[in-house]
Amino acid sequence: MFKKDISIIIADDHPIMLKGLQQELEQAGYNVLATATNGTSALEVIDKYNPTIAFLDIEMPFLNGFEVVKRFKEIQTKTLFIIMSYHKEQGFIVQAKKLGVNGYLLKEDSLQDIELCIQEVINGKLFFSPSFEDNFEALVDAELRKINLLTSSERTIIRLIAQQKTSLEICEILSISKRTVEKHRTNIISKLDLNSNNDTLSTWINSHKEIVNSL
């Protein structure tokens, strides 16, 4: 596919970053159809133009990049989604892979990296920033496998713990016994391969807020 035939939408609430990426891609010969400065606008322009690729920042007003991806994945759009972010934390990458994004770049990456990402995702491959360590993707996949072991009830328990609910409050909300709550906690700790102490689950939840929000 020629560069001029690759249509692109860019969504980022940082004007300098947005303009800079737009200029770089246009100068490189790509067809940038439109830009957006928030998640709602991103939804509108992607729906209107049905681009080959949408570059999305994660943290945008109204809807974040992940929420935009989720909306379009639900309707099985042909648009390919590439996240561009400053976030290097494992939790963000896990959520990106969980949502089925096609690429994940860091805003510090070069135009060469961006172009390589474009070509790889068009060819049906996943692409993650070269800035990540060689074993990073393996670690992310391992974390995803653990999360996929969780039942619906266990995911609900995690969300409630993230909301600072006590075991007694969880009992009342879910109409289950304290013994059942504790059994769920034990199973969750085992499936996530955590140490079995009182704070280990809360610590994991605080470190993986992006994942918990998507459960």
pLDDT tens, position by position, for the chain (215 residues)?
889 999 999 999 999 999 999 999 999 999 999 999 999 999 999 999 999 999 999 999 999 999 999 999 888 889 999 999 998 877 788 888 888 999 999 999 999 999 999 999 999 999 999 877 665 666 667 777 888 888 989 989 998 988 988 889 999 999 999 899 989 988 989 888 888 776 788 888 887 777 777 67
pLDDT of amino acid 136: 63
pLDDT of amino acid 118: 97
Contact 53, 82 (CB under 8 A): yes
* Measured distance CA(117)–CA(115) in Å, rounded: 5
* Measured distance CA(117)–CA(177) in Å, rounded: 50
| C-alpha angle 99-102-107 in degrees, rounded to nearest 5 | 100
pLDDT of amino acid 215: 72
pLDDT of amino acid 207: 76
pLDDT of amino acid 147: 84
From residue 40, give the alpha-carbon distance in Å to each of 13, 49, 66, 80.
12, 15, 12, 18
pLDDT of amino acid 37: 96
Contact 21, 29 (CB under 8 A): no
